[in-house]
Amino acid sequence: MVDYREILRLSSDPKNGQRQIAAMVHSGRDTIREVQRAAKEAGVSWPLDESVTNEELRSVLFPTRFAAESMYATPDYAYIHGELAKPGVNLTLLWTEYCKRCEQAKSTPYMYTQFCEKYRQWARITKATMRIQHKPGDAMQVDWAGNTLDIYDSVTGEVSKAYLFVAVLPCSCLAYTEVCGDMKLETWLLCHVHAYNYFGGVTRLLIPDNLKTGVKSNTRYETVLNRSYQEMAEHYDTAIVPARVEHPKDKALAEGTVKFASTWILAALRERKLFSVQEAQEAAAEKLEELNGRPFKKREGSRRSAYLEEEREFMKPLPTIPYEPAVWTPELRVGLDYLVSDGTNRYSVPFDLIGEKVVLRLTRQTVEVFYRGTRVATHLRSRRVERNPIVKTEHMPTEHRKYLTYNAEDFTEWATSVGERAAEAVRHFLTSGKEPEQGYKACVSMMKLAERYGAERLENACGRLLAFSSAPSVRTLSTILKNGQDRVSAPEKAEESAETPPHGITRGAAYFRKGGASK
């Protein structure tokens, strides 16, 4: 039998001519020429796996010539390989269609197990992507690398750690990596966005590890995802299927790519001093392009060429609206000041939610407040620390809204409409402090007293108060109105008797004339 393996091995060396190869394998030059041409057409090249036999090579290189030796119809393996890339297509369906064609041609089909085995042999020999395991555009596997990168402070020389995010497409093995300053949820989401943009499309499935930033729990019975992570998946129309706990083989390509990236990116940069995360990202991006362009060892092409040729057309398109990462906070209880905090600043919510629990949806630009699944407030998010809370007037009670509209001119105008004495009291309140605003509370209290007791009684009370005090107070004014003293007319001053000396006995002569002294 012709030694096809040895012919392909010797043909891989350009120094060997057909005469030399024919002499070494004891075959004719026509046979050598024919095998070389058939191998080129079938896409078979050296090196081959050790498990590939000469019989398997013969069936791949000359499928029609030796078909007569078998009573079974030879499947079109190239057609099968192409169809397997399409969504929903599997070997069972293709074997059924193969059997129908054999029935129409009145030939004998292979049984299902032989059909699958022969396709696997063909795929292994031709180094075609094994789509039984990984279909193009079907999944993206993601993980954090275990190793870190050192970032040096240019002033103090202190060293901080940077982390490497890794995403890989299992079919073509195309990878995306990104250096990050932390592993927080917002960073995790942004890395996914950048990975999809780098690949130029979205996969049907997203397979992460069971990290807490993405997966709350993953048990035998249910999987609970982080709300922000699930929201991102819905935006990209992909499904998150976390790997089983302690089953790294569920994302073996990601694990392998993590090790590969640790070697060709992190280890390759070990001697280089990096002074910022941005500088590290630029250096890692250069290494990433080298990694994706590096030729495969056991098949032709590279990660990038395999993606462009076999996987790109099967990726789902990116959404038309860019995704903005959003982080959901745990439940927060609204305080008496009807404010909630995003960790940096405070924002208002409708005052009738005081004491209720709400959740915040935080993006880089906005703060959204949700109560029982309904959005009740939206604010522009401030990235700097604000001295005062960010409050919308429609969230405030009526009294608080009125307070914002108060000014000295309005208080003075109102007091003048009540009376001269009320206007004098208001002027005192507005001018007794360093600033007019210090007297606003007293003026508001006077307005409430007018609503309760009436403008006329307030005017009388102010007149009575100013009669014996040049520094009126709201407390005293309220006491006068409460006790009704504003309704009692002030007694007229009795004329002093000319006989009454300015000093001495003050009881007067009449007291003694009536015998008062004897009683």
Rg from Cα positions in the chain: 44
Measured distance CA(2)–CA(12) in Å, rounded: 17
Cα–Cα separations (whole angstroms), residue 410 to 423, 455, 461: 12, 16, 21
Backbone region of residue 301 per phi and psi (left: phi > 0; alpha: psi in -120 to 50; beta: other values): left
Tokens of 44: 């078979």
Look-up: residue for tokens 């890989």? 168
Tokens of 133: 């395991």
CB 58 within 8 A of CB 2: yes
> Beta 239-240 vs 205-207: how paired, if at all?
parallel
Measured distance CA(18)–CA(31) in Å, rounded: 10
Residue 238 CA, distance from chain mean position: 15
**DSSP tag of 108:** B
Buried b (16+ CB within 10 A) or exposed e, 403-426: eeeeebeebbebbeebbebbbebb
Please give the pLDDT value at position 199: 93
Per DSSP, what are the bridge partners of residue 302? 295
Angle at 176 between CA 172 and CA 182, to 5 degrees: 150
Measured distance CA(13)–CA(10) in Å, rounded: 6
Please give the pLDDT value at position 180: 92
Cα–Cα separations (whole angstroms), residue 498 to 313, 468, 495, 502, 513: 120, 27, 9, 9, 18
> Beta 205-207 vs 139-152: how paired, if at all?
parallel
Residue 420 dihedral angles phi and psi, to the nearest 5°: -65, -40
CB 199 within 8 A of CB 311: no
Residue 356: burial class (beta carbons within 10 Å; 0-12, 13-18, 19+) = middle
Please give the pLDDT value at position 156: 85
pLDDT-flagged residues of the chain (< 50)? 68, 491-500, 518-519
Task: Give residue-wise pLDDT tens across range 301-328.
Answer: 888 998 998 888 889 999 998 888 888 8
Residue 133 dihedral angles phi and psi, to the nearest 5°: -95, -45
Look-up: residue for tokens 């095998």? 35
Tokens of 245: 């706990």
Please give the pLDDT value at position 269: 82
> What letter represents residue 241's amino acid?
V
> Is the full-model pTM beyond 0.75?
no
CB 162 within 8 A of CB 273: no
Please give the pLDDT value at position 400: 80
The DSSP-derived string for 11-43 is HTSTT--HHHHHHHHT--HHHHHHHHHHHHHHT
Tokens of 459: 């005017």
